[in-house]
Structure 1
Amino acid sequence: MALVQVQKASSVDVGGDGDSDVVWIMAVGSDARPGEDMTRTRGDALQLIGLDARTGAATAIGIPRDSYVSIPGYGSDRINASLYYGGPQLLADTVGDLVGIEPDFVFVTRFEKFKAMVDSIGGIDVDNPVAFSDPYLKPKGFAVGEQHLNGYLALTFARVRKDLLRGDFDRSANQQRVLRGIAAKIRARADRPGFIEDGATTALENMAVTASPTEVYRLARAAATIRPGKITSCVLQGDIGDVGGASVVLPYTDQAKRLGDRARDDATLESCT
Structure 2
Amino acid sequence: MRATILTLSGILIVAGVVAGGYLLSLANSFDSKSETITEAFPAETARPAVQETASDATNILLLGSDERGGSGETENLVGVPNAGRADSMMLVHIPGNREGVYAASLMRDMWVGVPDRGEHKLNAAYSFGGVPLTVQTVESLLDTRIDHVASIDMEGFEGLTDAIGGVDINVPIAFEPRHLDGHFFEEGAQHMNGEQALAFVRERYAFKDGDYQRVRNQQLFVKAVLGKLLDRDTLTNPGRVASVVDSLSPYVGVDNSLNAAKLAQLGVGLSGVRKDDLHFFTLPTAGVGRSADGQSIVLPDTEAIDALGEALSTDEVAAYMAANDL
Q: Give your verdict on TM over 0.5.
A: yes
Could you list the per-position Cα deviations for residues 169-217 of structure 1 after superposition, in whole angstroms to 9, with x for gaps in the alignment? 1211111111111210111046416589848964667644422432132
2:107 to 53, 56, 64: 64
Q: Structure 2: where are the runs of 5+ without partners?
A: 1-33, 48-52
1:29 to 31, 41, 64: 64
Deviates more, 1:142-151 or 1:212-221: 212-221
The aligned residue for residue 286 of structure 2 is 238
The aligned residue for residue 192 of structure 1 is 236
Could you list the per-position Cα deviations for residues 87-143 of structure 1 after superposition, in whole angstroms to 9, with x for gaps in the alignment? 222212211222333332222122322222222222222222222232443654322
Check conservation: 1:52, 1:222, Cα contact below 8 A.
no
The aligned residue for residue 261 of structure 1 is 310
Check conservation: 1:41, 1:84, Cα contact below 8 A.
no
CA distance 1:68–1:177, change in 2 (3 Å): same
The aligned residue for residue 101 of structure 1 is 144
1:226 to 273, 278, 287: 273
- Matched residues in 2 for 1:196 and 1:221: separation? 19
**Alpha-carbon RMSD:** 3.3
- Matched residues in 2 for 1:263 and 1:84: separation? 27
The 5 Å alignment of 1:78-227 reads 78-137=121-180, 139-189=182-232, 191-192=235-236, 198=242, 202=246, 207-209=252-254, 210-211=256-257, 212-221=259-268, 225-227=272-274
CA distance 1:247–1:139, change in 2 (3 Å): farther
Check conservation: 1:199, 1:220, Cα contact below 8 A.
no
How far is the alpha carbon of 1:79 from its aligned partner?
Answer: 0.5
- Matched residues in 1 for 2:164 and 2:115: separation? 38
1:248 to 279, 283, 297: 297
The aligned residue for residue 91 of structure 2 is 48
How far is the alpha carbon of 1:69 from its aligned partner?
Answer: 0.8
Q: Secondary structure at the match of 1:83?
A: helix
Could you list the per-position Cα deviations for residues 12-61 of structure 1 after superposition, in whole angstroms to 9, with x for gaps in the alignment? xxxxxx96543222222213468863447432122112234744311121
CA distance 1:238–1:159, change in 2 (3 Å): farther
Per the normalisation by structure 1, the TM-score is: 0.80
More strand by share: 1
Per the normalisation by structure 2, the TM-score is: 0.68
Question: Percent identity at matched positions?
Answer: 26
Check conservation: 1:133, 1:141, Cα contact below 8 A.
yes
